[in-house]
Each structure stands twice: as C-alpha cells, then as structure tokens.
Amino acid sequence: MAVGTTPFLLSVIQTCFSWIKDVKNASNTKLSINLLRRSLGTVPKDPKDPEKASESYKTGPVDSPAERKSIAIKLKKHDISLTLQVPEFGDARRPAETEASARVLLAHSEFKAALVPGVLPTDAFYDQCAAEVQTIRTFFPHLASEAIHTVFAAWLTFVCTMDDILETLPAAVGEQVLAESIQMVQGRPLDSAVPGAASDTRIQGLTRVLYAHATALLSPAGARAFFGAAQAVLEAHVDEIRFLQGGLPRDLATYLGIRRRTIALAPFFEVLKSEYLPAGFADGDATAWAQLQTDVSCAAGLQNDLIGLERDLEGGEQLNAVVVLMRGSNPHAGSAAAVDEALLTRCVGLVAAEHNKAVTRSLAHAARILSTARDAAPAAAAAVAAVARHIMLLSETHLTWCAGCKRYDMAAGTPPPPPPPLANADPGVTAVMGPQLAPPRGIYHGLPTYPANAPALRGLTALVTGATGVSGYQMVKVLAAAPKRWAKVYCLSARPPPDNFFRDLGEGARRVEHIAIDFLADPALIARQLKDKIPSVDHIFYFSYMQPAPKGNVLDLWANADELATVNSTLFTNFTTALQKTQLRPRRFMLQTGSKHYAFYLGPAALPAFESDARVALARNFYYEQEDALFRYCGAVGARWTVARPSYIVGAVRDGALNHLVGLAVYAAVQARLGRPLAFPGDYRAWDREQVQSTGGLNAYFEEWLALAEGVEDQAFNIHDGLSFTWGRLWPLLAGWYSAAWAPPEADVAKYRAVTLPYPETPRGHGPQMTLNSTFSLLEWSLRPEVEQTWGDLAREHGLVLDPFHDRYRARIFSFADSAVIGDAPMTTSVRKARQFGFFGTVDSYHSIFDTLHELAQLKLVVAPVVNQFDFAS
C-alpha cells in the first residue's frame, strides 16, 4: 500500500508530529486530539440541507455514466489477461495536495499514533499515514469534506490492522474478539451479553479508538450509520471464519455473500448517504440504494481477488473467488505448486464475468435512483446524483488503486467474450435479470420477467414433489403456464392426484406427468421408480410434508416435535438418498421450509425474522435437519441449492386439510346460518398482533425465480405477500363476506383462560414467554352438536365433498386455524433479502384470502362467500 509523500506534505507531517508528541508527553492527550479536530472542522452543521451538502462535494457531472469502459490487465506469471468493465466517468483524478490535505494527514497521524501507544515518528510511519490518506483520495477523488476524509482513512487503517491480527488468532478466539468488538461499535460496554472474555484484546483496543475518533468527527446520524455498517462488516468476518472452518458451504455463492461485506466499503457509503442525502431520499428507494452498494462492493471484492490472485496462489490463500471456484471443480486445485492452467483460465474468466455483471447491475440501480429523484428540487436531485456517483465511482477508483498496489499496467480493452463454462458449472441464466417487472398478473404485482431469447431458459425439465399439496400444486400451475421455459414437469406425490388436478392446468396439462411415489418407502425402491420414469431433470422443487394427527388442543399441533421431525426428515433423506442412486443430476434444488424455522411456535422470536438468525435449539426442528441434508446432497452431486421460507400459506387444493382458511370458512358459514356473530376466540393482543401471510401463487412465482435468477444460489430467503396482516383487519371483512355479524375480543379479562407455552426460554433468548389467552377455541366450537348438524345441512345444499368433522380431519383443520388466530406474540419475517436480490413480487393478502375462499368453494370444500367481488375500499 506504500505511496510516497510529496516533499511538501512530508515536511508538514514531520514538523507537526513532533508537536503532537510534545503535547502527548505533557500528559494531555485529549488536548492534542481536540486541537486537531478544531483545526480540521466537522461535517456541515446542516448536512440534510442539499445546498450546504453540495458545498462538500466537487461533484463534476451529476448524471450517472451511461456507458462502461473496458480495462485490460495482464497477469505477470500466468498467460492470462483480465478484461474488467467499469463505469465510464472520464477523468476521475483530483488536483494535487493542498493545505487541507495536510490537516487530514495530521489528524490521521494522531489517530494512528493512538492505535499503537509509543510508536516512533519514523519515515516509515509517515509514509504509511500518507499512503492511507492517499488511498481515500484515490477512492473518492471529488470528496472535499476533511472530516469525512479523516474518518474514512481511520476506517481503512482499522480494517487492514484488524485483518492482520485476525490471521494470527485461532478461530474460536477470533470469533470471541469480533463478538466483543461488535458490542463496542454498538456503543455498549462489554458485559454479560458476550459470554466469557477474549484472551486477545488488540482488536477491541482498535475499536475503542475508532469509536471515539469517528463519533467526534461525524454528526450523530452519520456516526450511527457508520457504526451500523461497521457492525455488519465485523459480522461478515465471523462468517468468514466459519467459512474457513467448514461451518458454511465452501462454494462461490457463499463466498461472494461474505466477500461483498468484508471488502468493508459499506461504512463509506452509509456515511455519504447519511451526511449528504436530503431527508427521505435514502428511505424512499432503500432497495435500489442497497442493491447499488451491494453490487459495487461485490465488484471491488472481485477486483481484489483477481489482481491479487497470483500472490494468493503462491501463499496458499483460500479466500479468493478464483480459488474457491477452482476447488469447487477440483478439490486439489488452487495451489501454486500444481496449477491447472486451463482450469485457472476458465475460473478467472468466470470471476471476471461475475465482476462485469455486478458493474452492469450497479448502473441499472443508479439509473433507477436518479429516475426517482428526477422530479425533486434541483439542489436535492443534484445531491442524490452526487452520492450515487461517489458510490458508483468506486468501481473505477478501487480498480485503479488495486492495479497500482500490485504494479500492474492498465490499458484500454475491448469488451470481454463470454468465459468458457466449467464442466460442472451451473449453465443457468447468462443474461442479467435487471429490475424489469412484468405487468400485473391477476392479483399479483411486481413479478419478474425473463429474457425471451436466453437458451438457458428454454426447454427445462422440473420435478415437483408434494405436487398435490397447497404449495406444490401452485408450483405446478406456474410452471405449466410457461411452456417455452418448462417443456416437462414431473409431479410426485404418495397419492394419486384429484380429478381436478389436470383439468385446472388447461393447455399446460400436456407437459405435466404425475408419478405416485411414497417417500417413506425404501430409497432403493424410490430410486428404481425415478429411473424408470424420469430420464433427466434440470430443477427440483421440494414441497413434501406430513403432519401427524393432533390429539386435540391448541398447543398440540406442534407439540410432538420428535414425531413431526422424524417423519419429515425421513421423507427428505429417503428422497435425496434415492436421487443419488439415479442418473438424475439437477442444476438447482429448491427446498421450501417455512417460518417454523424461526420457532415462533415456541414463543417470541426476534422480529422481524432475518434469514441470518441463529437456529433455535429449544426443540428438535426438522427444517434444520432437511437443510443440512440438502447441503450434503448438493455438495455430493455438484448441484446448487436454495431455500424458501414462507409464513402461513394462503391457497386452495382439493387434498389440503392443513389450511387455516378451511377452518375459518367453516366457522363463518355455520355462524352465518345460525344467525350468530363471528366471535373472536383470542384476546386483543392476538387481534392486533402483526403477522404476514404467504399466498401460494406468489410463493411459486418466487420459487421459479429462485431456480432461474443469477446470484441467488446457495441462499435461503423469506417470502410473504409483502404487507403486514392482522386478524383485527380480516375479522370484519370475513363476517361481511358471509353476511354475518362479528364480535371483537372479549373485554372482560376474567373470562379468558390462559395457557403459557411449556418452554422456560424463548426463541429470542430473553423476555417473557408467550401466553395464549382465549375464551374458546375453534376446535371446541366444532364439537358443539348444532355446529356439526348445521354443516351437514350446508354440505347437502352445496354438494360439498369435505367433512371437516370427521375424525381424520377435525383436529387438523380446527387446531391449525386456532394456531393462526390465538396468541400474543407478533409473527413477522423480513423479505428485505429477497428485495435486495431483485424479487419485488407482492399481493394484497386480504384480496388473496377472499379469492382463496371462492376457490375452496369451487373445489366443493367450503361454502362460498355471498360477496362475489372484492372491495378494495373495505
């Protein structure tokens, strides 16, 4: 990183550093720091004023670049040339150093001296300080704020020093050190929140100095943004340790998910946004900003890996995208002693292509941001453009810095040809799926579009398990409706499909074949059936599920965790074991699990639930077992995987008694016929608690996208309808649809019976346990003689085929409905990750429930609502 200082700057540093040392020797450390900061100045006092914010930029053109330029770099020891694309900004250089730069150097020298007490003011020390300040100048050549420049230089020093220390620590100590440092950047003193105490405290010391330094120079909002992003970088280093230790999949997608965070650019970006964006502009299109930052960070991380590749090969470095990709194809590849040049060339080409796609996506995100700001006041629009420009410019300036550090020559290049594919690489979508969205499709909005001429998206074969269930059949419908993409859809289930199965698929039924296979059978038998019926498969969509019969109370549905886990883990492992005995090798394997992953049924969990939340070990959870089996299977056969985690699923199939809407529809129809109101069984906390619903059709569109989109491989995603949901909102609507009265929760608390979940600890690890307060349950209601008699009358009138009061169905139907409406803890999952990766599909949950009730009626399972048209004004 060493960059020589100019004589002018060196003289300033040498003169001023002796003054700093004298002040420190006078036992007045705070005086030296405060004098420096007073000389330096701070961020504009009103950074949200776009007129003032613009004064801290030398912005140049405010528009995003419309073009890309290609940079050619030839590796020194291997006959390989890189062609990397970056945004075309023209001359991005900054004028020569000025007196202001000397003040930044002075402040940075003080910071660096505080990191290592007793450091000697040698020429090497001065050079290091100047190099770090110059690096920030290279990254952000038009940034004029000296306070921000100083903080950015401090962050660069912190990250590099932390990296060096972490390399010397055992994995367990490194994780502990990072956990304590994360607590410190949150502004909290070390306490019992981090168990134990790390044996090494060097990084914690660095963190303490950085925290004091940055909070003194940034505005309060800027400091919060900076340290929030810094926390994410530290968390990524924890993931990096686990990646190296084998605790995370050792594949390119997982590595890239870590690398785009450990490159440590997010704190820069968050400060720029916080200090200079006009109020509301970061929140107004948060997804586009997040995607822009993610893709620029991804490009920068891959620049480091590609330009540092030869050094990494010589040093046996594992944390390099090319090395990860090479070892995914050949576990023995990636060492300097025995490099497969052909494999190396192909992997370099693939990683360079990944870099160029990230740059292309960043241009699209920036264009979207600028389009959103186009109608704003001119000063505000200029500030938005300037911030977007500074973030995007890093794709170019970081490459310049990388090449300079390694002394590589950069020349204008031609656009690169597509890289040759690896023998076992995923031949998925090669064209970028940008933010283009399809027009509304019925009640669905924001669905993705797919390139019509992409060979990788034509003539595909899918295998859908659990195909007669509420989720599996929605998947079959979506695939059957896209004949150019999906030439053949194999549907597996233990029982034959109902008579409407093919009829409701319309023309798409010609491409659908059902095969009856019981996954509880011996894997060898399953394998023979698969071999006999299915010659090949591109994508697997797994939805198989079995629910042991509940015994009959509101807690019992999920109470027998061992029985539930045993049967469902067996289903999955039998299937994957059988697959390995066949010739079938899918490109990707999509497993649908659900929000039980977060153990909401065991009590309050962290809200909203993120995909990265730790597993909950309070009870056996078969979703964890299925995921682990999925990882093993895909690792063994070279497939990529995805996991979808919906919430309560809204949908209609003939063979689907485990559906909370069936119980609610029976309740509404019977109460309406009896002339009684729809009383709510829970209390006001249950009435008001926020939940999310997951419409089966939207889930299926999302899961098709998981199979086809780039960059989502080897990731888990939450999915729901995209808006919050409460029973208090639905209850009056449900009553109106059935022309019934309704009653809110009972006001007299003495009339409730309380049931506390039988787990002393909550899934989130703290706080009180959830209490289920109810005046009655729908399962109890179903046992009333007049209820069953009234339903019999309705069934004869409407020709219904489902008897929800049969011993086979009663507990399942009404216990599942009770589990949805009775409880006091919110149940929400976040779909921010899906949005960040590019899926924007939504549906109105209330409209979806209305349509589903009518679909259930068409299937002759329930009585139809008397209202035929959904009223958006209700």
Phi, psi of 641 (to 5 degrees): -130, 155
Fold of domain 68-93+141-413: Farnesyl Diphosphate Synthase (1.10.600)
Q: Are 735 and 677 in contact (CB under 8 A)?
A: yes
Q: Which residues contact 754 (CB under 8 A, 6 or more apart)?
A: 771, 772, 773
Question: What is the rounded CA–CA span in Å between residue 572 and residue 627?
Answer: 10
- Which is higher by pLDDT, 637 or 845? 845
Alpha helices, DSSP H only, in 695-803? Answer: 696-708, 727-737, 778-782, 785-798
Closest CA to 474 of 768, 697, 275, 246: 697
- Rounded distance between C-alpha atoms, residue 535 and residue 460, angstroms: 13
SS3 state at 134: helix
**CATH value of 444-858 in 3.40.1190.20, 3.40.50.720, 3.30.230.10, 3.40.140.10:** 3.40.50.720
Q: pLDDT at position 653, please? A: 93
Query: For 778-834, how does the pLDDT look when each residue is reduced to its tens digit (9 = 90+)?
Result: 999 999 999 999 999 999 999 999 999 998 889 889 988 998 999 878 889 999 999
Give the Cα separation of 724 and 842 in Å (integer).
12
Could you report the per-residue pLDDT of 729-749, keeping only the tens digit for each?
999 999 999 999 999 999 999
Compute the mean pLDDT over every residue in the chain, rounded to the nearest whole number.
83
Q: How many CB atoms lie within 10 A of CB 778?
A: 24
Task: At 595, list the tokens.
Answer: 């929000």
Q: Identify which has the larger pLDDT, 210 or 117.
A: 210
**Which residues lie closer than 8 Å to 408 by C-beta, 6 or more apart?**
73, 74, 76, 307
pLDDT of residue 343: 83
Residue with more model confidence, 438 or 70: 70
573 band by pLDDT with thresholds 50, 70 and 90: very high
120 versus 505: which is more confidently predicted? 505
Q: Which of 48-57, 226-235, 385-394 has the lowest mean pLDDT?
A: 48-57
For residue 188, pLDDT beyond 80:
no
Over residues 411-432, the mean pLDDT reads 42
Task: Specify the pTM.
Answer: 0.56
Q: Where are the domains of the chain?
A: 1-40+99-140, 68-93+141-413, 444-858
Distance CA 416, CA 353 (A): 8
Q: Which of 120-134, 382-396, 500-514, 586-600 has the lowest mean pLDDT?
A: 120-134
Q: Is the pLDDT of residue 546 over 80?
A: yes
What per-residue confidence (pLDDT) applies to 406?
56
Q: How many helices and strands in the chain, by DSSP H and E?
A: 31, 18
73 pLDDT band, cuts 50/70/90, is: confident
Q: What does the alpha-carbon distance between residue 284 and residue 286 come to, in Å, rounded to a whole number?
A: 6
Report CA Rg, the chain.
30
Q: Which pLDDT does position 493 carry in this prediction?
A: 96
Summarize pLDDT for 675-723 with one digit per residue, the tens.
999 999 999 999 999 999 999 999 999 999 999 998 899 999 999 999 8
Q: What pLDDT is recorded for position 97?
A: 41
d(CA 318, CA 324): 7
Q: How confident is the model at residue 45 (pLDDT cuts 50, 70, 90)?
A: very low
Contact 250, 205 (CB under 8 A): no
Q: Determine the pLDDT at residue 86.
A: 86
510-526 average pLDDT score:
97
> In the prediction, which pLDDT does 345 show?
85
Confidence of residue 364 (pLDDT cuts 50, 70, 90): confident
The separation between CA 803 and the C-alpha centre of its own chain, rounded to angstroms, equals: 42
Other C-beta atoms within 10 Å of 170: how many? 11
